[in-house]
């Protein structure tokens, strides 16, 4: 019997925990959710696990598979479950159950939800199960038991295509004040071929890892003195960022956007009024108090932009107002969750906000759509779209009333319908203030990333009382569109570096042409060619070191320079150039004018 892959992965997470507990009976269990391509389990045990333990653990997992242990569900009252896990000496399970009893399902974190969804209330009128009275556990054989909603496979013989990948530290429930557990990650698939293909892809991903390539290409660095999650950009990396940012700006400028600038700090009152304080107060860098006001580093830009719009009264004739701003934001991420450029504490956004009438929202969103579909194909990304909607089962997670959400979601649904593209519904993926279109880009090795967004916001204009005067001279509530093309420039560059393996297209490469003089006698010709190519607008470097030609070529190749020109006696006149193209072994002979035309074509 075949099972959905999520059930296989969740059952394998239980299998992992059962094996670890058999090997180390004192193990305390955290949670073991399904994640993309696999699972993890948070464990508290006396032995410090390393990847050297994986063979031993996997052997025990296969022993349990061979025993064909059955997965059996048992339902019990929450109070009885607390006593049950007290007897099992499982303090983390007890904490979850007590929170569920006293605070209800609102206390459940997303990664804990797999333990609690299938609970019930004794309310005879069919009341909500936000404060359930019962929960369920799952046995794996007669020894291992876990708090879990299920479902699972029938028995362990249905499992087996898995591999343990790594172990990392993780604070219990994501709180650094709590004990640190050991999080063991694994992958699981329905077939061995799928697993093997995934392992091959991971090996390729390691070869492309931006955390390794970025410093090797001299694009960015981190400093212990500055602090984790705070990248520093080199001249080449800064050039790369500026080229990308200017590309986005030129696309926006054609569509009527205007640049604005904002400070990096704000009073707490701004975020209280916008609603961000309640949602993000634990992620804010609070820096100082002056004259009774608490200040914080900005984690996002939209509330600041509302105040630029609010500086004066507007007529409907003045709308849309389109503000663009590339600026750094700051979030107090936990150290253990930082990951190169993918997740940082300081990140720059190519942010833009459109203030317009509801009747203009669709047209403005379509302009942003066009920018996105001009920008991403330039890098060879293919896109698909997710319509990210609110979750009607959890209205407490969102600002604004149901009617506003219905209107906003209707506009975005109309857009994807008219575009006649394949798109997916993302219930629960909306921002807390409005629905959005999320654009998903597939990279060169098949991984999918969420990149650009178009977000339609009817709530922030309400909170800040943003209006325009309509044709009758009456105040009319406007709407706000949030538009990020790259989003976080840092995160986009982490994706782009791995997508291209650092071999950027010629128009983007920080150095487009490396000139390699054979000896000092050829430096004047190299300098002359450097001046000519620079005058034409190309980015050129001259390697004047006394290294061998072969070593200079290898250096340029490691830097992924698109073109290398070796200058010896034959090339001194610059009438004919010896051009080595990136990733090609043969050297091409071409006239300088031909080479310049080739570069110009690639730049266009």
Could you read off the pLDDT of 374-431 as tens digits, one per residue? 999 999 898 999 998 888 888 777 877 788 888 888 889 999 999 888 888 888 888 8
What pLDDT, on the 0 to 100 scale, is given for residue 1?
Answer: 57
* CA dihedral angle for residue 103, residue 105, residue 108, residue 110, rounded to 10 degrees: -160
Angle at 392 between CA 390 and CA 394, to 5 degrees: 90
Helix/strand/coil for 344: coil
Burial grade of 114 (CB within 10 A; 0-12, 13-18, 19 or more): buried
Check residue 23 and give its pLDDT. Answer: 97
- Domains defined along the chain, listed by start: 5-202 (3.30.980.10), 214-259+300-500 (3.30.930.10), 513-603 (3.40.50.800)
Global pTM reads: 0.82
What is the SS3 assignment for 493-514?
A: HHHHHHHHCCCCCCCCCCCCEE
Buried b (16+ CB within 10 A) or exposed e, 505-529: ebebbbbbbbbbbbeeebbebbeeb
- Pick from 232, 477, 259: nearest CA to 356: 477
Q: Rg of the chain over CA atoms, in angstroms?
A: 29
Closest CA to 441 of 504, 398, 485: 485
The vertex-529 CA angle with 527 and 530, nearest 5°, equals 60
Low-confidence residues of the chain, pLDDT below 50?
A: 117-119, 123-129
Helices (H), 441-522: 460-463, 489-500
The phi, psi pair for 140, rounded to 5°, reads -115, 100
Scan for tokens 């340029």, then name that residue.
Answer: 556
> Which residues are identified as catalytic?
302, 331, 349, 351, 353, 436, 482
For 269, other C-beta atoms within 10 Å of its C-beta total 11
- SS3 of residue 458 by DSSP: coil
**CA 372: distance to chain centroid?**
17
**Tens-digit pLDDT profile for residues 497-513:** 999 999 999 999 999 99
DSSP secondary structure code for residue 339 in this structure: B
């Amino acid at each position: 019997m075949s099972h959905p892959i999520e059930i296989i992965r969740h059952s394998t997470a239980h299998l992992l925990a059962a094996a670890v507990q058999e090997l180390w009976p004192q193990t305390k269990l955290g949670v073991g959710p399904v994640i993309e391509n696999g699972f993890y389990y948070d464990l508290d045990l006396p032995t410090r696990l390393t990847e050297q333990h994986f063979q031993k653990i996997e052997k025990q997992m296969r022993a349990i598979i061979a025993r064909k242990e059955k997965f059996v569900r048992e339902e019990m009252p929450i109070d009885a479950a607390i006593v049950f896990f007290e007897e099992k000496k499982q303090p983390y399970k007890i904490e979850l159950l007590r929170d569920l009893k006293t605070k209800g399902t609102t206390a459940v974190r997303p990664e804990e939800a797999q333990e609690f969804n299938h609970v019930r209330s004794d309310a005879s009128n069919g009341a909500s199960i936000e404060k359930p009275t019962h929960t369920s556990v799952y046995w794996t054989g007669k020894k291992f038991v876990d708090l879990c909603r299920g479902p699972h496979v029938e028995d362990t013989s249905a499992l087996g295509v898995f591999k343990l990948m790594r172990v990392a530290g993780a604070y219990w429930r994501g709180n650094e004040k709590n004990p640190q557990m050991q999080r063991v990650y694994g992958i699981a698939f329905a077939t061995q071929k799928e697993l093997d293909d995934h392992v091959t892809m991971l090996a390729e991903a390691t070869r492309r890892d931006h955390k390794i390539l970025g410093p090797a290409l001299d694009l960015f660095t981190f400093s212990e003195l500055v602090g984790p999650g705070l990248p520093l950009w080199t001249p080449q990396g800064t050039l790369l960022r500026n080229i990308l940012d200017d590309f986005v700006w030129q696309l926006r400028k054609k569509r009527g956007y205007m640049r604005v600038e904002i400070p990096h700090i704000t009073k707490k009152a701004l975020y209280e009024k916008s609603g961000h304080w309640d949602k993000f107060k634990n992620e804010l860098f609070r820096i100082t108090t002056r004259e009774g006001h608490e200040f914080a580093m900005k984690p996002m830009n939209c509330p600041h932009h509302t105040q630029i719009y609010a500086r004066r009264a507007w007529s409907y004739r003045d709308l849309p107002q389109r503000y663009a701003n590339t600026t750094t934001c700051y979030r107090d991420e936990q150290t253990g969750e930082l990951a190169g450029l993918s997740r940082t504490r300081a990140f720059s956004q190519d942010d833009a906000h459109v203030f317009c009438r509801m009747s203009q929202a669709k047209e403005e969103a379509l302009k942003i759509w066009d920018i996105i579909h001009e920008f991403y194909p330039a890098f060879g990304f293919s896109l698909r779209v997710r319509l990210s909607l609110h979750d009607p089962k959890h209205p407490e997670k969102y600002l604004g009333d149901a009617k506003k959400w219905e209107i906003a979601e209707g506009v975005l649904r109309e857009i994807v319908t008219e575009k006649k593209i394949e798109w997916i519904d993302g219930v629960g993926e909306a921002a807390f203030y409005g629905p959005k279109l999320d654009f998903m880009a597939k990279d060169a090795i098949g991984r999918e990333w969420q990149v650009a967004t178009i977000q339609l916001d009817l709530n922030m204009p309400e909170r800040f009382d943003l209006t325009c005067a309509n044709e009758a001279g009456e105040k009319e509530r406007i709407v706000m569109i949030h538009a990020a093309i790259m989003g976080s420039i840092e995160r986009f560059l982490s994706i782009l570096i791995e997508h291209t393996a650092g071999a950027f297209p010629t128009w983007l490469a920080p150095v487009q042409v490396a000139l390699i003089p054979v000896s000092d006698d050829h430096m004047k010709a190299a300098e002359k060619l450097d001046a000519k190519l620079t005058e034409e607008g190309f980015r050129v470097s001259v390697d004047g070191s006394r290294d061998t030609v072969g070593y200079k070529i290898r250096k340029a190749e490691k830097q992924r320079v698109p073109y290398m020109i070796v200058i010896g006696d034959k090339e001194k006149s610059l009438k004919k150039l010896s051009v080595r193209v990136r990733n090609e072994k043969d050297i091409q002979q071409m006239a300088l004018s031909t080479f310049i035309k080739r570069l110009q074509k690639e730049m266009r």
